[in-house]
Structure 1
Amino acid sequence: MDPVKDSKPIRRFPAIFPSLRQVSRVLHPKVLFAWENSVQYRASNTSWLDGLRGIAALQVYFFHFFGLHTHWGNPYGATPEDVYIHQLPLFRGIWAAGSAAVCIFFVISGFAITIKCLTLLRKGQHLACYESLASSLIRRGFRLYLPVVLVGIPGFFLMRTVDMVEAGTFSFEFERKNSTMEQLLDFVHRTDAHISPFTYAETHEFRDRYPYAPSAWTIPMEYYGSIVSYLTILFVSRIPAFKLRCAVIGFSSLYALHRGCWWASLFLNGMLLAEVMLEQRHRAATSEKHAAPTSRARHMFYQIPFVLMFAFGYYMGGVPPKVLPFDFHPIPRVGYQWLYTLYPPFWMFEMQEDTRWLWYWSGMFIIIGISQVPWLRRVPESTFCQWLGKLSFSLYLVHPAIIAVLKPHLDRFIDGSGAGKGVKCAFDFITLTPICFIVAAVTERWIDQPSVTFARWFEKRITRQETEKSIELPLGRQLEMEEQAPLVERIWPEEEEGKEPSDALLGSPGSSQRRASHDRIS
């Protein structure tokens, strides 16, 4: 008997099983939440900004979510009913600091889009700086507005098919039109008005509202702040003295704040912070060999003012506005009332919203404090915060629509059980938060990253003639230009490939999957 002929054939699994394995891989939590190959953490002097952007985006989400479950304008003790622990200033800085988080976005954006050019200027590489500036200017509009428009398209369909007004302040009744054609025309008109660079940004979010992605009211301010930063780079590019450069940038920021352009002022503050940190790094490197050993006590004494600055900025982040246009009569804001006496006269700083002055300085104090205290930077440098930074722009854009669509249904479901406010809030949070992060991960992969890729492709496409010219240069000249290209050790991962360090609110750590999140946000 031939064992070969009589042996039974080996059974193979049906072809459906490989597809099931693929589905299981797609549904793996690391894939659903965009954790896989996304957080390639590398220690650097600026990685904490990536994580801080992620924390700020999470604060905006908390602000919008918990603001629907409580009177966010009422701190602890404002009324006899407001006696909950989450209303204390210690906790309001976590969930009620969404407006201060927007200010943090703008400072980080100003830092991110200018530090490369400032580094090149310090090396005397003016030609490379101008080329980098032109490249950033070409890509910036696509990087900011393309994800907003692509996220606005499903927002248009949701506006026609779902009642998004019921949840609260994300959509209004007048924004829902009577027919699909009217809604489509409104979508086109509002999208054109929102992304147009020839329309001056309004100073109040409700006047520049984009209902199909409500949180995108900050994106025109991001773009205008970027343009101001680029022009300031050109202005200071021929100024060799560090102190004079800082004086020019600081005066420009102060004048922008005087005119009420707080977003442009914050961008310039981010640029000024980048210049100061580069100078600190330079002095530390040049005086390293000759510097006397510094005692631990002296080092800690140096950090005390910055720790206090961070703590005060955190405290101010939870301050409610003195008057809410959609709220009832103004009431004393216990624990914050004395801050309202710090408002400057309108003729000095033309702030359309008084409390914006306090949120402005809250964001500034938080970033300055963290930048000078190494142990404060450990939290945003953590892997979790770096992951948050990757999803920050997408999370910032998509969470209002998710809350508006799903929260009313969740409330009706839990209302039948007779649960209290606390149980209802916890149920909504546990249900909506994973959904928001999953949708943000999908948006980051299929909208955010392709937007960055398209911007790079568009830049290479329209500058192809210049690229061909550079190839015809003599070999010696080509080598000279290549030697000028490298920057410092690592500023942003995009810079290693010649890309623009994105903003935004805007941040994600290295690898091709991290490229999309640095612009923005936020």
Structure 2
Amino acid sequence: MDPVKDSKPTRRFPAILPHVRHFSRALHPKVLFAWENSVQIRSSNTSWLDGLRGIAALQVYFFHFFGLHTRWGNPYGATPEDVYIHQLPLFRGIWAAGSAAVCIFFVISGFAITIKCLTLLRKGQHLACYESLASSLIRRGFRLYLPVVLVGIPGLLLMRTVNMVEAGTFSFELERKNSTMEQLLDFVHRSDAHISPFNYPEMQEYKDRYPYAPSSWTIPMEYYGSIVSYLTILIVSRIAAFKLRCAVIGFSSLYALHHGCWWASLFLNGMLLAEVTLEQRHRAEMGEKHAAPTSRARHILYQIPFILMFALGFYIGGVPPKVLAFDFSPLPRVGYQWLYNFYPPSWLFEMQEDTRFLWYWSGMFTIIGISQVPWLRRVPESTFCQWLGKLSFSLYLVHPAILAVLKPHTDRLIEGLGAGRGVKCAFDFMVLTPICFIVAAATERWIDQPSVTFARWFEKRITRQEAEKSVELPLGRQLEMEEQAPLVERIWPEEEEGKESSAALLGSSGSSQQRASHDRIS
């Protein structure tokens, strides 16, 4: 008998099918864009801040992308050639407000890292507050800098393998070294200088540039702003009067702004906003039983000033610098020229970049206006904006490298077809934007979440003896709400009497991936 004929055929294809299904699931859009099992609309009063952070990160992306296709320093009518509709103030507040969006980041971070401690202080839980501060100080540096360095490693490889200078603004020729060893040593040196807590951050991003992740110039400011906020918590921890606490925080913010530390001032403003939010919530709870019904007209009249404040912040967000370093003949900025009259004298506010003063107030007006108008908060509370908030930190870090590497190739492709400037911009946007979000989703899953997990593991590791002695978790741990970095954050409401706090921390599902996303920090 022929053994070949008698043997049964092996079924190879059915054995491969599970792997094919697994691979196809990995390519599903919900997985590629990190939408699956992670986007949930929060019912808390502060969930809109998470969505607003996502919107601000999207504005930064728009600012960098469209800034490569147009002269972002020229609004509509600045020159006879500047007559495009996207240059009008209504649209500049969307794509040209990246600098104002950075100010929004800092305010949100200041709010997020202090609201838990302020809540504990209001409840008289001083020991829990101090323990929470110690925990935050341990984790904060890892949470901010670890993703930056890990994202910088692919930046190092790209620096040596592709031309990242052609797109402009993201990489410069002098940053590319002659050999791989020199480039590696430069990476180590610059990473050390970037993350060192003993270097005071510069007031201009170009002086503290990290070429392997260029957008991370704000991270040292995030770290120092966090330290200032933690110190201020200690200062006001024994002040019982609400108005006096606000006065101390507000004066500290103005003093920081006076010396040009606009990032620290914005952090303190976020802390002040958190204090006011908690006071409003407390008064609303105390007055529910005795307050008379309020008319709809009175609600509308109360919201009108904040709506105007939001509109003013949106408008100022698109203001270009009065003088650009690469513009040898600055022209009047039509539609914004009157704003430059509000520059304060140097003896009052030492702003090395004058326009930063306007962007500062743009961020403040925008976030204050949204905080007091419920229907304005519905947009950042939407599912899409909550998803943006989840990816905001990763998108903020990775998009400059993607634009620097891919944009020259897409430009050459579309130019070969004889397309105009508008068609080229639309083509680049449709091709590069999905790629940026896919890479941001992968970075969020494989770098951002593990960084949070590592920071928590490190804290538990070095505080293991104290954890073993404690029989019961203190209230500070029960209400634990992670601080977040410039770009992604989950802000959870304080539960009544601490109930359901662990459920709020772990989320509705028990998956480890969701737990990591709930611990996200800006």
1:327: Cα distance to partner? 2.3
Structure-2 residue corresponding to 1:45: 45
Is residue 110–residue 226 contact of structure 1 (8 Å, CA) maintained in 2?
A: yes
Structure-2 residue corresponding to 1:375: 375
Aligned length: 494
1:247 aligns with 2:247: yes
Q: Hey, what's the Cα distance between the residues in 2 that align with 1:384 and 1:447?
A: 22
Is residue 60–residue 97 contact of structure 1 (8 Å, CA) maintained in 2?
A: yes
Q: Hey, what's the Cα distance between the residues in 2 that align with 1:87 and 1:512?
A: 43
1:312 aligns with 2:312: yes
Bigger mean CA offset, 411-420 vs 389-398: 411-420
Is residue 482–residue 520 contact of structure 2 (8 Å, CA) maintained in 1?
A: no
1:470: Cα distance to partner? 1.8
State the secondary structure of the residue aligned to 1:15. Answer: helix
Amino acid aligned to 1:406: L
Q: Hey, what's the Cα distance between the residues in 1 that align with 2:416 and 2:338?
A: 43
Is residue 386–residue 508 contact of structure 1 (8 Å, CA) maintained in 2?
A: no
Pairing of 1:77-88 with structure 2 (within 5 A): 77-88=77-88
Amino acid aligned to 1:505: L
1:391 aligns with 2:417: no
Q: Hey, what's the Cα distance between the residues in 1 that align with 2:96 and 2:211?
A: 22
1:193: Cα distance to partner? 0.2
1:11: Cα distance to partner? 7.2
Instruction: Return closer, same or farther for 1:293/1:51 CA change in 2, 3 Å cut-off.
Output: same
Deviations 1:143-169 (A, max 9, x none): 000000000000001000110000010
Is residue 343–residue 354 contact of structure 1 (8 Å, CA) maintained in 2?
A: yes
State the secondary structure of the residue aligned to 1:77. Answer: coil
How high is the TM-score relative to the length of structure 2?
0.93
Structure-2 residue corresponding to 1:507: 489
1:267 aligns with 2:267: yes
Is residue 75–residue 335 contact of structure 2 (8 Å, CA) maintained in 1?
A: yes
Is residue 391–residue 517 contact of structure 1 (8 Å, CA) maintained in 2?
A: no
Deviations 1:430-452 (A, max 9, x none): 00000000000000000000000
Instruction: Return closer, same or farther for 1:505/1:11 CA change in 2, 3 Å cut-off.
Output: closer
Q: Hey, what's the Cα distance between the residues in 1 that align with 2:138 and 2:11?
A: 58
1:513: Cα distance to partner? 4.7
Instruction: Return closer, same or farther for 1:47/1:150 CA change in 2, 3 Å cut-off.
Output: same
Pairing of 1:175-190 with structure 2 (within 5 A): 175-190=175-190
State the secondary structure of the residue aligned to 2:255. Answer: helix
Is residue 51–residue 380 contact of structure 1 (8 Å, CA) maintained in 2?
A: yes
Structure-2 residue corresponding to 1:169: 169
Structure-2 residue corresponding to 1:475: none
1:508: Cα distance to partner? 4.7
Is residue 445–residue 513 contact of structure 1 (8 Å, CA) maintained in 2?
A: no
1:411 aligns with 2:421: no
Structure 1's unaligned 5+ residue stretches are 1-7, 472-477, 488-494
Pairing of 1:90-489 with structure 2 (within 5 A): 90-471=90-471, 478=472, 482=474, 486-487=478-479
Q: Hey, what's the Cα distance between the residues in 1 that align with 2:433 and 2:16?
A: 33
Deviations 1:277-331 (A, max 9, x none): 0000000000110001000000000000000000000000000000011223110
Is residue 453–residue 516 contact of structure 2 (8 Å, CA) maintained in 1?
A: no
Q: Hey, what's the Cα distance between the residues in 2 that align with 1:213 and 1:237?
A: 37
Is residue 319–residue 336 contact of structure 1 (8 Å, CA) maintained in 2?
A: yes
1:465: Cα distance to partner? 1.2
Q: Hey, what's the Cα distance between the residues in 2 that align with 1:501 and 1:507?
A: 7
Instruction: Return closer, same or farther for 1:93/1:339 CA change in 2, 3 Å cut-off.
Output: same
1:503: Cα distance to partner? 3.3
1:243: Cα distance to partner? 0.3
Instruction: Return closer, same or farther for 1:61/1:517 CA change in 2, 3 Å cut-off.
Output: farther
1:518: Cα distance to partner? 3.3
Q: Hey, what's the Cα distance between the residues in 2 that align with 1:14 and 1:285?
A: 62
Q: Hey, what's the Cα distance between the residues in 2 that align with 1:447 and 1:517?
A: 11
1:40: Cα distance to partner? 2.0
Is residue 389–residue 489 contact of structure 2 (8 Å, CA) maintained in 1?
A: yes
1:516: Cα distance to partner? 5.8
State the secondary structure of the residue aligned to 1:518. Answer: coil
Instruction: Return closer, same or farther for 1:295/1:205 CA change in 2, 3 Å cut-off.
Output: same
Q: Hey, what's the Cα distance between the residues in 2 that align with 1:448 and 1:148?
A: 9
Alpha-carbon RMSD across the aligned residues, in angstroms, is 1.5
Q: Hey, what's the Cα distance between the residues in 2 that align with 1:127 and 1:464?
A: 18
Amino acid aligned to 1:140: R
Instruction: Return closer, same or farther for 1:414/1:266 CA change in 2, 3 Å cut-off.
Output: same
1:186: Cα distance to partner? 0.6
Instruction: Return closer, same or farther for 1:17/1:325 CA change in 2, 3 Å cut-off.
Output: same
Amino acid aligned to 1:514: S
Structure-1 residue corresponding to 2:502: none
Instruction: Return closer, same or farther for 1:517/1:59 CA change in 2, 3 Å cut-off.
Output: farther
Is residue 89–residue 318 contact of structure 2 (8 Å, CA) maintained in 1?
A: yes
Bigger mean CA offset, 27-36 vs 411-420: 411-420
Is residue 135–residue 459 contact of structure 1 (8 Å, CA) maintained in 2?
A: yes
State the secondary structure of the residue aligned to 1:116. Answer: helix
1:128: Cα distance to partner? 0.4
Q: Hey, what's the Cα distance between the residues in 2 that align with 1:14 and 1:463?
A: 51
1:482: Cα distance to partner? 4.3
Instruction: Return closer, same or farther for 1:175/1:10 CA change in 2, 3 Å cut-off.
Output: closer
Is residue 370–residue 377 contact of structure 1 (8 Å, CA) maintained in 2?
A: yes
Is residue 484–residue 490 contact of structure 2 (8 Å, CA) maintained in 1?
A: no
How high is the TM-score relative to the length of structure 1?
0.93
Question: Which of 512, 518, 521 does residue 518 from structure 1 map onto?
Answer: 521
Q: Hey, what's the Cα distance between the residues in 1 that align with 2:312 and 2:199?
A: 36
Q: Hey, what's the Cα distance between the residues in 2 that align with 1:337 and 1:243?
A: 38
Instruction: Return closer, same or farther for 1:442/1:337 CA change in 2, 3 Å cut-off.
Output: same
1:75 aligns with 2:57: no
Percent identity between the two aligned chains: 84
Instruction: Return closer, same or farther for 1:387/1:408 CA change in 2, 3 Å cut-off.
Output: same
Deviations 1:225-282 (A, max 9, x none): 0000000000000000000000000000000000000000000000000000000000
